[in-house]
Protein backbone atom coordinates (compact mmCIF):
# COMPACT_ATOMS: atom_id res chain seq x y z
CA UNK A 1 0.00 0.00 0.00
CA UNK A 2 1.25 3.48 -0.85
CA UNK A 3 1.17 5.23 2.53
CA UNK A 4 2.52 8.47 1.07
CA UNK A 5 -0.32 8.92 -1.42
CA UNK A 6 -2.90 8.20 1.27
CA UNK A 7 -1.18 10.67 3.58
CA UNK A 8 -1.12 13.32 0.86
CA UNK A 9 -4.84 12.82 0.23
CA UNK A 10 -5.60 13.16 3.93
CA UNK A 11 -3.53 16.34 4.04
CA UNK A 12 -5.27 17.72 0.93
CA UNK A 13 -8.75 17.12 2.31
CA UNK A 14 -7.75 18.40 5.77
CA UNK A 15 -6.49 21.63 4.25
CA UNK A 16 -9.58 21.92 2.04
CA UNK A 17 -11.67 21.61 5.21
CA UNK A 18 -9.70 24.50 6.68
CA UNK A 19 -8.31 22.34 9.48
CA UNK A 20 -4.83 22.42 10.90
CA UNK A 21 -3.13 19.23 12.01
CA UNK A 22 -3.64 20.43 15.58
CA UNK A 23 -7.40 20.75 15.13
CA UNK A 24 -7.72 17.36 13.43
CA UNK A 25 -5.61 15.75 16.14
CA UNK A 26 -7.70 17.35 18.88
CA UNK A 27 -10.94 16.30 17.17
CA UNK A 28 -9.74 12.70 17.00
CA UNK A 29 -8.05 12.76 20.41
CA UNK A 30 -4.71 11.91 18.81
CA UNK A 31 -1.37 13.67 18.86
CA UNK A 32 -0.40 16.19 16.21
CA UNK A 33 2.81 14.23 15.73
CA UNK A 34 0.79 11.10 14.88
CA UNK A 35 -1.31 13.02 12.32
CA UNK A 36 1.91 14.38 10.83
CA UNK A 37 3.41 10.90 10.50
CA UNK A 38 0.26 9.69 8.73
CA UNK A 39 0.26 12.63 6.31
CA UNK A 40 3.96 12.13 5.52
CA UNK A 41 3.39 8.43 4.87
CA UNK A 42 5.62 7.35 7.73
CA UNK A 43 2.81 5.49 9.51
CA UNK A 44 -0.36 3.79 8.34
CA UNK A 45 -3.38 4.53 10.51
CA UNK A 46 -5.40 1.65 11.89
CA UNK A 47 -8.75 1.08 10.23
CA UNK A 48 -10.48 2.70 13.19
CA UNK A 49 -8.31 5.83 12.95
CA UNK A 50 -8.66 5.93 9.17
CA UNK A 51 -12.46 5.87 9.42
CA UNK A 52 -12.33 8.55 12.13
CA UNK A 53 -10.18 10.74 9.87
CA UNK A 54 -12.57 10.29 6.94
CA UNK A 55 -15.53 11.16 9.15
CA UNK A 56 -13.80 14.19 10.68
CA UNK A 57 -12.94 15.48 7.21
CA UNK A 58 -16.43 14.65 5.94
CA UNK A 59 -14.97 12.71 3.01
CA UNK A 60 -15.54 9.16 1.83
CA UNK A 61 -12.84 6.57 2.32
CA UNK A 62 -12.67 5.87 -1.42
CA UNK A 63 -11.58 9.46 -2.03
CA UNK A 64 -8.74 9.05 0.44
CA UNK A 65 -7.77 5.71 -1.14
CA UNK A 66 -8.29 6.67 -4.80
CA UNK A 67 -4.59 6.40 -5.67
CA UNK A 68 -4.23 2.88 -4.28
CA UNK A 69 -7.52 1.30 -5.32
CA UNK A 70 -7.48 -0.90 -8.40
CA UNK A 71 -10.63 0.87 -9.59
CA UNK A 72 -9.61 4.27 -8.29
CA UNK A 73 -9.92 5.70 -11.78
CA UNK A 74 -13.69 5.28 -11.43
CA UNK A 75 -13.69 7.59 -8.42
CA UNK A 76 -11.57 10.10 -10.33
CA UNK A 77 -13.92 9.85 -13.32
CA UNK A 78 -16.87 10.54 -11.04
CA UNK A 79 -15.12 13.59 -9.55
CA UNK A 80 -14.30 14.85 -13.03
CA UNK A 81 -17.91 14.38 -14.07
CA UNK A 82 -19.06 16.49 -11.11
CA UNK A 83 -16.61 19.24 -12.05
CA UNK A 84 -17.76 19.21 -15.67
CA UNK A 85 -21.37 19.79 -14.60
CA UNK A 86 -20.45 23.34 -13.63
CA UNK A 87 -18.89 24.09 -17.04
CA UNK A 88 -20.55 25.34 -20.19
CA UNK A 89 -21.58 22.89 -22.91
CA UNK A 90 -18.72 24.18 -25.04
CA UNK A 91 -16.14 23.58 -22.29
CA UNK A 92 -17.52 20.10 -21.64
CA UNK A 93 -17.28 19.22 -25.32
CA UNK A 94 -13.67 20.44 -25.40
CA UNK A 95 -12.84 18.33 -22.37
CA UNK A 96 -14.43 15.23 -23.93
CA UNK A 97 -12.41 15.71 -27.11
CA UNK A 98 -9.18 15.91 -25.13
CA UNK A 99 -10.04 12.80 -23.14
CA UNK A 100 -11.06 10.89 -26.27
CA UNK A 101 -7.76 11.83 -27.93
CA UNK A 102 -5.82 10.61 -24.90
CA UNK A 103 -7.51 7.23 -24.74
CA UNK A 104 -7.03 6.48 -28.45
The pLDDT tens digits for 30-78 are 999 999 999 999 999 999 999 999 999 999 898 898 877 776 577 777 7
The pLDDT tens digits for 78-102 are 778 888 889 998 988 888 889 888 8
pTM: predicted TM-score of the whole model, two decimal places: 0.70
Number of separate domains in the chain? 2
18/54 same-domain check: yes
18/49 same-domain check: yes
9/58 same-domain check: yes
Q: Could you list the residue range(s) of the whole structural domain that residue 11 is in?
A: 3-64
Buried b / exposed e over 69-89, threshold 16 CB at 10 Å, is eeeeeebeeeeeeeeeeeeee
82/37 same-domain check: no
Q: What is the pLDDT of residue 72?
A: 59
31/58 same-domain check: yes
Give the pLDDT band (50/70/90) at residue 2: confident
**In this structure, what CATH number is given to the domain that contains residue 16?**
1.10.260.40
Amino acid sequence: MDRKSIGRRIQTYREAAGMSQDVLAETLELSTIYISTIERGVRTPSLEVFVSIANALNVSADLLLVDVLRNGYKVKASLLSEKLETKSAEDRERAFKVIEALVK
